[in-house]
Structure 1
Amino acid sequence: MQVHTGSDRWDGEADVVVVGFGAAGASAAIEASDRGAQVLVVERFDGGGATAISGGIYYAGGGTAQQKEAGFDHDTPATMFDYLKLETSGVVSDELLDDFCERSVENLQWLERLGVPFEGSMAPRKTSYPTNDYYLYYSGNELALPYKDVAEPAPRGHRTKGRGTSGKVFFSAMEKAARKRRIDVRRQTTVTSLITDDAGTVIGIECREVDPGATARRALHRLLGSWNRKMNLYYRPIGRLMDGPIRRIEREHSVVRRYRARKGVILAAGGFAFNREMLKEHAPRYLGGTALGTIGDDGSGIRLGQSVGGATDRMERVSAWRFFNPPIAMTEGILVNKEGERICNELYYGAKIGEHIAEQTDVAAYLVVDSRVLADVKRQVPEQTLWFQRLQTTYLFSTGHKKGATAEELARRTGIDPAGLARTLERYNADRRDGRPDAMGKDSAHVTPLVDGPFYAFDCSIRVQAGFPCPVLTLGGLVVDEVTGAVTGEDGRPIPGLYAAGRNAVGICSQSYVSGLSIADCVYSGRRAGAVVARNSTVA
């Protein structure tokens, strides 16, 4: 990505120019606007990014109204800090993490003022995503060891109130709020380079906008972009067919635009899950997963920052979502690798499970259950799942499993070491029978001997399975100053005029992810950057 120095002409200007219109970009734009800045947002498609196709989960705690409504009045910012300190493993300073937790209630209230709806109806059981009857749940590992010994558990997964996957409801409210503020959003526009002055200060952007005069091409680009996003989520091979036509329209039917940023540019263009080359370079063990987001999550925002000397970190960190709960009875199985060894607590949040799977030989893992567990699972499906989860269970119960009359036969059919699986089952069953704690710390309520044949194995490896997707989300990005959100170089010095937020930047969830933490970080880091840039003096 070439850096242009100076400019003889500008097609427009604003105090703050934001690249990307997802949760981070919208938060930055709204915050800057509310502080009196004129804001221009540049977005490759129609907006929303990964947020709009997500479950709409927002991680918040420390005493939210929804927690109190559900009867959880013990959560404090300090308790939330203790839990997240274990999850984040030092990816940010204690000071930043403390600030994130202290501001959690206020940031949730800010979203509510924008029109994002939340509710305190508490899910009755541990789940990866609650049904439409519940909008508050344990969205991380709060109930599992060692986390529950470090911090008193509290539900912090605040699901946006809306049927199905409610990310669309979440972002629609933010989009409406931006519209009310007369924030200028230039859609179907791809940023190609940053513009700097002779001193190296970022003073604007160069981009290509699908030609407004080419009405038919512009309409086709919008339609293909919408279809592509949906197909990428459910069946990437079909989505891939649209990649070429989308890029061809952008290349052959677009016009160059240059926009001046009087106070600063904020990069908020998502991660790089759709960039196979970057994944291969930084996180090859996750190549088999299903990229989460849009094809705009191609690392372009990160590479823009690098083009002017921005440093990166945690680029190897990727969240792989291997969810097999709900139904909750699935957690009574054992998750083993090819050697037949158990790899983690099956009650962990799906991203933590995915992290453990990524460490295994061939990133392979299998959930082994017996006929009794499978019968319980099937009985729980109607009550505990939404439509997209039922699609998954339908696949798993029909063609997405291996079966064996005995555990040994199952192992041979699956490619698991039979002796290793036999040892694991023997210990698992004996510990429960003899009243010993589970070796992986699983709650005893979900540990029952697996003895009733036939036995079944569900392939939980990080690889594409049409009926059992394993979404992946990249977590690393540009290094930023923790106080301002300014992009910094290898020497630690801020690059004048350039800021980053969300998955373009290293943040709260760049080491470990739990549901809702990325969107919460997008809001936190987006508001931080928007506020700082709005206060800046004119840089050009």
Structure 2
Amino acid sequence: MSDDSVRPVSESEISTWDLSVDVVVAGYGIAGVTAAVEAARAGADVLVLERSGGWGGAASMAGGFIYLGGGTPLQKACGFDDTVENMKTFMKAALGPAVDDAKIDAYCEGSVDHYNWLVEAGVPFKEEFWGEPGWEPAHDEGLMYSGGENAAPFAGVIPPAPRGHLPKMGNKKTGERGGGYMLMKPLVETAEKLGVKAEYDIRVLTVVVNDDGRVVGVVARRYGRTIAIRAHRGVVLAMGSFAFDEEMVRDYVPALLGRPGSAVDAHDGRAIRIGQALGAATAHMDAAEVAVHTSPQLMIRGILVNAHGQRFIAEDTYPGRIGQAILFHQKNEAFLILDHDAYDEALQSGSPLPQPDWVCESAGELEQEMGLPTGTLTSTVDVYNMHAEGGSDPLFFKNEKWVRPFGTPIAGFDLRGMTSGFPLGGLKTDTDSRVLHVSGEPIAGLFAAGRCTAGVCAGGYASGASLGDGSFFGRRAGVGAARG
């Protein structure tokens, strides 16, 4: 068969099975490892196939947040009250439009149990809250607001609670040994203790189906050799998003074209295409999370304006919402405006800060230096200052804690093109992680979890939603595959 083909192979075409196990898990990131652990605990003989040279995937490179709530022990230890209903209400409001209500209900109702499951599997959490804005804590604090829960438009109608749970880090090195690594390492060690086997440098090409259409194995390639692996009970796809498949990005989320992919290059969409070749349904393929590459410590203390010099969002909201607003609604063009005192204050947080692109003595001069239409930035600053004198922001409702008039000198930061992202859509699955056919029926023997699926995020995002969704529904995929 062609290396590029994702068409399923008939069992009758397999003359010899090179390997035979109960459950095959394709991918050794967060969804794969949790699926493997639960399948092994259910008594299955489990084999994980990973195309790279080691475990981890995108999860081990991530900041490490897991979105959890409803009253976890960590929330309580840090002095925060949260309820399952408040968590559901926030997620359905912030992660839409058109979220999968059943998935969010299951996720929120099982959140405390999932936290305890992670702890029992060896994932450590430091009982300390980080109250500053940012993409992640500067140190190893275990809890943080990670979805804009304490900002407009949510804070006024849903009691806010921090739900970003971050594993305790040792020798933190962002992108190499951060929270994601500290999440993955104990889970992999747990899998190994349970007897889970792993094969590396092996790429899953497609699945094998029997005469009834049931998935009974996979075809893979390793060092130029094609091999067939029998799965007596089930196959779990956990191979990541389509962030690094240019054709799929062009077809589904063209705004991400040319933007750096916040993933790993193994996220080539193959798992999704394998499912589609079986007739699987997909959902939210046009949705994406978007990061804006500047410090939230700066954004929250200033104002964000578009190419017309006008504000367009509350600057204290979740930075991912800001990134989405810039890329999808402002043609990837934005500027951050900040005065000298605010910059000095942000320096006290200890977070690394960029240098401004322009520094001037007045908003009018800055407007001219930045090339904005005459009168646009000055009128925006004048209106902002007028209301800030009274500590209010009637246009976007930024928390009064961060609202104050601009002084001088005043600086501008060029954020044009300063975004990157990854897709949120994928295979449609049910709450038991069964892959669904376009008819709505489960495809027998096939399960999926993680970023190759359409999870709890349907458009909006919160940091920790991917690792939380992947690990939670990865567990369910493992249980289902082990049952056969």
Counterpart code for 1:337: N
Corresponding residue to 2:208 among 195, 204, 207: 195
Counterpart code for 1:270: G
Paired residues of 1:330 and 1:377 also in contact (CA < 8 A): no
Q: Does 1:298 align with 2:253?
A: no
Corresponding residue to 2:335 among 362, 366, 369: 366
Counterpart code for 1:530: G
Q: Which residue of 1 aligns with 2:459?
A: 511
Unaligned runs of 5+ in 1: 211-253, 464-469
Q: SS at the partner of 2:219?
A: strand
CA–CA separation in structure 2 for the residues paired with 1:295 and 1:133: 28
TM-score, normalised relative to structure 2: 0.93
Deviation per residue, 1:265-289 (Å, 9 max, x gap): 1111011112222212211212243
Q: Does 1:51 align with 2:56?
A: no
Q: Which residue of 2 aligns with 1:171?
A: 184
| Equivalent residues in 2 for 1:71-470, closer than 5 Å | 71-72=79-80, 74-89=81-96, 91-132=98-139, 134-163=141-170, 164=172, 165-210=178-223, 254-322=224-292, 324-326=294-296, 328-378=297-347, 380=348, 383-385=349-351, 390=352, 393=353, 396-397=354-355, 401-453=357-409, 455-463=410-418, 470=419
Deviation per residue, 1:60-110 (Å, 9 max, x gap): 1111111111111x2111121121121122544433322211110111111
CA–CA separation in structure 1 for the residues paired with 2:391 and 2:263: 45
Paired residues of 1:205 and 1:259 also in contact (CA < 8 A): yes
The range that moved more, 415-424 or 36-45, is 415-424
Paired residues of 1:321 and 1:471 also in contact (CA < 8 A): yes
CA–CA separation in structure 2 for the residues paired with 1:374 and 1:93: 41
Q: Which residue of 2 aligns with 1:490?
A: 438
The number of aligned residues is: 470
Counterpart code for 1:460: L
Q: SS at the partner of 1:278?
A: helix
Describe the shift of the 1:125–1:47 C-alpha distance in structure 2 as closer, same or farther (beyond 3 A): same
Counterpart code for 2:218: I
What is the alpha-carbon root mean square deviation over aligned residues? 1.8
The range that moved more, 136-145 or 91-100, is 91-100
Paired residues of 2:306 and 2:312 also in contact (CA < 8 A): yes
Counterpart code for 2:319: G
Counterpart code for 1:336: V
Q: Percent identity?
A: 35
Displacement after TM superposition at 1:313 (Å): 1.6
Displacement after TM superposition at 1:8 (Å): 1.5
Deviation per residue, 1:12-54 (Å, 9 max, x gap): 1212111111000111111111011111111111121111011
Paired residues of 1:431 and 1:437 also in contact (CA < 8 A): yes
Counterpart code for 1:428: Y
Unaligned runs of 5+ in 2: 1-5, 173-177
Displacement after TM superposition at 1:445 (Å): 1.4
CA–CA separation in structure 2 for the residues paired with 1:330 and 1:50: 27
CA–CA separation in structure 1 for the residues paired with 2:373 and 2:127: 46
Displacement after TM superposition at 1:194 (Å): 1.5
> Normalized per residue, which structure has more helix?
1
CA–CA separation in structure 2 for the residues paired with 1:493 and 1:461: 45
Q: Which residue of 2 aligns with 1:67?
A: 75
Deviation per residue, 1:84-140 (Å, 9 max, x gap): 121122544433322211110111111111111012201133332112252211111
CA–CA separation in structure 1 for the residues paired with 2:392 and 2:432: 50
Deviation per residue, 1:184-226 (Å, 9 max, x gap): 111110011221223322211111113xxxxxxxxxxxxxxxx
Q: Does 1:4 align with 2:9?
A: yes
Displacement after TM superposition at 1:371 (Å): 2.5
Q: SS at the partner of 1:291?
A: coil
Paired residues of 1:128 and 1:323 also in contact (CA < 8 A): no
Displacement after TM superposition at 1:435 (Å): 4.9
Counterpart code for 1:472: G
CA–CA separation in structure 2 for the residues paired with 1:135 and 1:435: 31
Displacement after TM superposition at 1:434 (Å): 4.3
CA–CA separation in structure 2 for the residues paired with 1:273 and 1:334: 31
CA–CA separation in structure 2 for the residues paired with 1:361 and 1:118: 38
Q: SS at the partner of 1:80?
A: helix
TM-score, normalised relative to structure 1: 0.83
Paired residues of 2:289 and 2:421 also in contact (CA < 8 A): yes
Displacement after TM superposition at 1:349 (Å): 1.1
